[in-house]
A and B are shown apart, each in its own frame.
Chain A
Amino acid sequence: MSVVGHIGTAVGPHETPPPPPRKGRRLLPYLLLLPGGLWLTIFFAVPAVQLAATSLYDPSGSLQQGYAMTWEFGNYADALSAYWPHFLRSLLYAGIATLLCLLLGYPLAYAIAQKANRFKNLMLVCVIAPFFTSFLVRTLAWKTILSDNGWLVGVLRDIGILGSDGRLLATSAAVVLGLTYNFLPFMVLPLYASLDRLDGRLLEAANDLYASPARAFAKVTLPLSMPGVVAGTLLTFIPAAGDYINAELLGTPNQYMIGNVIDSAFLVRLDYPQAAALSFLLMAIILAMVFVYVKRSGTDEVL
């Protein structure tokens, strides 16, 4: 439980201003920040900068001979022209999965926050507990469920939704379903946190002022839960767009996302400049989308 509430509220917009400093304690905050800040700088920021540099190296170099810095902006053009379908597919899959997470997660979060009463804690546990089973183990379980001779495909074939040789596994649908499944809690928890703060009397007031339940939802509940929606969509979309496990296990090379490409460029093809250009592009695209989205939704505090 504890885990839950905190992630949710953490990303929410409320933050109290810090109290004024006391004399002689000016150095303390820097000392407190130093170890963690150094760690993040050395192992996150520096590699990110280095990644940017690598992406501009001469692509004809290799790990053995070393790379020359030639400000090779062409790497980006090459990466894009070769792999734009993967970028597009990643954004599309992640977008659909995020939307599905929102559609599935909202009623669940709402039910837990406003309807569950004494079952609240139990339901919250039920949301998190499945995720302690390893990510890979869960995804492999989906492989079993969706497999061609599994019961699900059998039933769908019998009632005619799937053709007699229709498949679930190794399709785009399977990859999107896997993404949706794996990132659903990242949607539910922030949504729960903001819906839990929602004062039930506001809805009563809306009903009292002649709002139908649908209108009350659109005019009161939804706007007030926007911080949760924003945080949830970000926490879902970002990892989903960079994921390659679901595409690898539940799809085929035809479903490969940009993560698969980066993974193989780094670990199989050892083409570091191109891998770096792809990584940096992915990061830039995602950050740009995040900033636009956050500005649009008017909840900059998330950052």
Chain B
Amino acid sequence: MSKGDLRLVNLTKRFGVFTAVDDISLTIPQGGFFALLGASGCGKTTTLRMVAGLEEPTSGKVLLGGKDISRLRPYKRPVNTVFQSYALFPHLDVFENVAFGLRRRGIGDIRSQVERMLALVQLEGFGKRRPAQLSGGQQQRVALARALINHPQVLLLDEPLGALDLKLRRQMQIELKRIQTEVGLTFVHVTHDQEEAMTMADTVAVMNAGRIEQLGAPAEIYEFPSTPFVANFLGQSNLLAGEVAGRSGDEVLISAYGSRFSVPAGRCRVVDGNVYLGVRPEKLHLAPNTDSVPSGHQWVTGVISDSSYVGVSTQYLVRTPWGTEVSAFSSNAGVHAQVPRGAHVVAYWRPDHAFLLSRQAGAGDATQPLLETVP
């Protein structure tokens, strides 16, 4: 563990009877880009505010480089925040907003530092403007400059791009990433946008109901989610309800709806009891009949119940013989023709693309039947 790591130890925050953050422990390495991903109300912003010192933990600790900072007032912490909707001081111009932290700490040579920082965020010459005279993207960059100029050990970003439109958000994502690599400090980024988390962060923590469901590199989490929540929060998954029926060498055997399936043991979160067999829709391919399924694949039969053309791909819903639906994305590479509604098809996948998750007894299939545009 290096000197500047940020560690949360059993961090808990309760508001009355409501537990917003429930016993979180994690380590964010110095210089990393860490994303806290979750739906609104999952506790991610509360976690961030406890790191910033704007919220006092009910129990647990925040350690920065081995030093306990959990009880320090926000202005005593080497941590700065880019607030959601920026919280720029409306009565101060851009220059004074950026200089605010330096002035409070009594640091000299403000002018040249502020100018350098405005150049870094590409806002040279905007010093005399008021925040209200800036566009959303410009305000966001002022907020970033205002935090970065203090060279904090950790920079906290609270949904900083949420207020921007899609195109500007893309642009700012790239810019944020560039600045992070350039200045090399630890970024902790809170967002509900899974794509934003995946494209920007080295490590993503998926939060749900105050707890961390899964933590890891974006690809790792996406390819091998550890809970049904993660499997459907980060992208979509087809989850078939079944039970483990036994084991054959490296394969775990599952029985579901009278059929037998197998998953390599390395892709199983559980190896007995009630399980979900998960397959991502883009890993599910369609064939006209079982004869055309390539060998080594597993399959379910069904009828196309709905389809939706989204340009790069077509999304199909396939109704299975037992009545639930699975979704399949077929890329529009020009290889396959569109399959009409009502057609009988076979949906097949490679066993090593599947994953096995624990299932509560009685829980049915969990597929999002929505034909929504994948961003």
Contact = CB atoms under 8 A, between A and B. Distances in A.
Report if A and B touch in the complex (beta carbons < 8 A): yes
A240 to B, nearest CB: 39
Nearest to B15: A20
Contacts of B56: 22-23
Interface in A1-46: 20, 22-23
Interface in B161-213: none
Contacts of A20: 15
Contacts of B15: 20
A17 to B, nearest CB: 13
Interface in B7-39: 15
B322 to A, nearest CB: 47
Say which size band chain A's interface belongs to: under 10
B75 to A, nearest CB: 14
B215 to A, nearest CB: 29
A20 B20 CA distance: 15
Nearest to A23: B56
A20 B54 CA distance: 12
Interface residues of B, number: 2
A23 B56 CA distance: 9
Contacts of A23: 56
A23 B15 CA distance: 13
A258 to B, nearest CB: 48
B55 to A, nearest CB: 10
A23 B55 CA distance: 11
Nearest to A20: B15
Contacts of A22: 56
A26 to B, nearest CB: 15
B167 to A, nearest CB: 25
A202 to B, nearest CB: 24
Nearest to A22: B56
A22 B54 CA distance: 10
A44 to B, nearest CB: 35
Interface string B47-64: 000000000100000000
A23 B73 CA distance: 12
B72 to A, nearest CB: 14
A117 B277 CA distance: 63
Nearest to B56: A23
A295 B15 CA distance: 34
B297 to A, nearest CB: 55
Nearest to B16: A20
A16 to B, nearest CB: 16
A20 B56 CA distance: 12
A8 to B, nearest CB: 21
A23 B57 CA distance: 12
A22 B56 CA distance: 9
B45 to A, nearest CB: 15
A20 B15 CA distance: 9
Interface in A184-236: none
A250 to B, nearest CB: 47
B58 to A, nearest CB: 11
A121 B212 CA distance: 53
A22 B15 CA distance: 12
A23 B71 CA distance: 12
A237 to B, nearest CB: 38
B49 to A, nearest CB: 12
A225 B218 CA distance: 52
B173 to A, nearest CB: 32
A163 to B, nearest CB: 62
A29 to B, nearest CB: 19
A20 to B, nearest CB: 7
Interface in B210-230: none
Interface string B135-163: 00000000000000000000000000000
A234 to B, nearest CB: 33
A5 B196 CA distance: 42
B182 to A, nearest CB: 36
A182 B15 CA distance: 51
3 contacts: A20-B15, A22-B56, A23-B56
Interface of A: 20, 22-23
Q: Considering the complex of A and B, which 3 residue pairs feature the smallest CB-CB distances, nearest first?
A: A23-B56, A20-B15, A22-B56
Interface of B: 15, 56
